[in-house]
């Protein structure tokens, strides 16, 4: 029983030992607030039932999870990508064209690129901080845990903005 309590205590104190985890949480809270402010409005009474609203949140969350996974397992991902590209020149050409096309689409929408770069930098700094304190989980577990951590921050930011805590308006 004391091992379980000790493990929970070590996990709870992890953001204090690795402060860039707090930075990652603050960045993801900011992203949640930013996505609420920039969400498309269709003029419906209940925006939660709007299909465009749901699609917007789905795409933003998938983009965030993809960035976290790519930033969490770069060595595993790059080794698999290199092995795939070494298999054939056609595969190399297709992958290169895909990467250039996706990169070009991101460059067309610089606001999306800024969110991606900020989130990726925060994830990489959090990973380096975890490595500094010698907490090195497996790459897939790190990707899963950091994705959940970022989604928790986005959810908190969304609740803060939708709850009216950050609007600055007073009812008095």
The answer to whether the CB of 60 falls within 8 A of the CB of 35 is yes
3-state secondary structure the chain: CHHHHHHHHHHHHHHHHCCHHHHHHHHHHHHHHHHHHHCCCCCCCCHHHCHHHHHHHHHHHHHHHHHHHHHHCHHHHHHHHHHHHHHCHHHHHHHHHHHHHHHHHHHHCHHHHHHHHHHHHHHHHHHHHHHHCCCCCCHHHHHHHHHHHHHHHHHHHHHHHHCCCCCCCCCC
Sign of CA dihedral 118, 81, 85, 91: negative
What's the CA gap between 35 and 22, in Å, rounded?
20
What's the CA gap between 73 and 60, in Å, rounded?
20
Look at residue 75 and tell me whether its pLDDT is greater than 90. no
What's the CA gap between 134 and 137, in Å, rounded?
9
Q: Which tens digit of pLDDT belongs to each residue from 86-120?
A: 777 777 777 777 777 777 666 666 666 778 888 88
What's the CA gap between 119 and 70, in Å, rounded?
11
Look at residue 59 and tell me whether its pLDDT is greater than 50. yes
Residue 45 pLDDT: 55
Look at residue 168 and tell me whether its pLDDT is greater than 60. no
Higher pLDDT, 144 or 115: 144
Look at residue 151 and tell me whether its pLDDT is greater than 90. yes
pLDDT tier, 44 (very low <50, low <70, confident <90, very high otherwise):
low
Residue 48 pLDDT: 59
Name every residue whose Cβ is closer than 8 Å to that of residue 139 and which is 6 or more positions away in sequence.
72, 73, 75, 76
- Identify the residue whose tokens are 């029983």: 1
């Amino acid at each position: 029983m004391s091992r379980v309590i000790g493990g929970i205590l070590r996990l709870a104190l992890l953001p204090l030992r690795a402060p860039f985890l707090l930075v990652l949480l603050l960045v993801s809270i900011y992203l949640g607030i930013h996505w609420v402010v920039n969400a498309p409005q269709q003029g419906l009474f209940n925006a939660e039932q709007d299909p465009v609203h749901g699609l917007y949140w789905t795409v933003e969350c998938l983009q965030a999870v993809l960035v976290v996974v790519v930033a969490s397992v770069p060595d595993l991902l790059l080794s698999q990508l290199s092995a795939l590209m070494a298999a054939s020149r056609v595969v190399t050409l297709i992958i290169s064209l895909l990467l250039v096309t996706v990169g070009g689409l991101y460059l067309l929408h610089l606001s999306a690129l800024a969110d991606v770069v900020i989130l990726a930098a925060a994830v990489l700094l959090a990973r380096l901080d975890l490595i500094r304190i010698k907490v090195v989980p497996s790459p897939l577990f790190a990707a899963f845990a950091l994705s959940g951590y970022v989604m928790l921050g986005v959810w908190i930011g969304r609740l803060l903005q939708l709850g009216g805590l950050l609007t600055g308006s007073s009812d008095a």
